[in-house]
Homo-oligomer: A and B are copies of this chain.
Amino acid sequence: MTDATATLSADDAALATPFLATLVRIMRAEDAYGAWEKRSDAHLLKDFILTKEQRREIPIIGDPDPDVLWRVDKFYAAIGLTIEGRTGFVASPMMKIGHEGFGRVILTVGRLVVLSRSLRDVHRWGHEDLTKLAEAGTKAVDEACEMIAKYPGLADW
């Protein structure tokens, strides 16, 4: 097996995770004019990927542009939807990010904060490859589902 096919199948495995499948679904839902219709799933998610080299080229201090905030929003929306798919509970994200790119995202289910993340340097937000992106989302979903399993009474408020 060559390196190229190995990478290809890593991407395919990542895209097959419930989290990335949901993220792709959300992105396609936003495509009201069909402009992305012919794009592959991997192409559709390309802006979520930020390699180490790309990150190094971005200044350490910077204001996040609307596009990156939009992607962070979609990332957490996909986490919420994947939680719903797994547990049946709707998880709603709330985000508070200052113009300097520092902030916080929480996902709540009923009276339970199932996920809480501090965000910093949002202008450099992204994941190294599809595998890492899938891992980050799936880890957050796992964490949230554990909270729901532990406190079902508060989730079902």
Contacts and interface: CB of A to CB of B under 8 A. Distances in A.
A94 B116 CA distance: 12
A92 to B, nearest CB: 8
Contacts of A106: 94, 108
Nearest to A116: B111
Nearest to A151: B154
**How many copies of this chain?**
2
Nearest to A109: B113
A110 interface: yes
Given A94-B96, A151-B154, A154-B154, A113 B110 contact: yes
Contact of A111 (B94, B96, B112): B112
Contacts of A116: 108, 111
Nearest to A108: B113
A26 interface: no
Contacts of A111: 112-113, 116, 147
Interface string A117-150: 0000000000000000000000000000001000
A112 B112 CA distance: 5
Contacts of A108: 106, 108, 113, 116
A116 B108 CA distance: 10
Interface string A81-117: 0000000000000101000000000101011110010
A107 B58 CA distance: 35
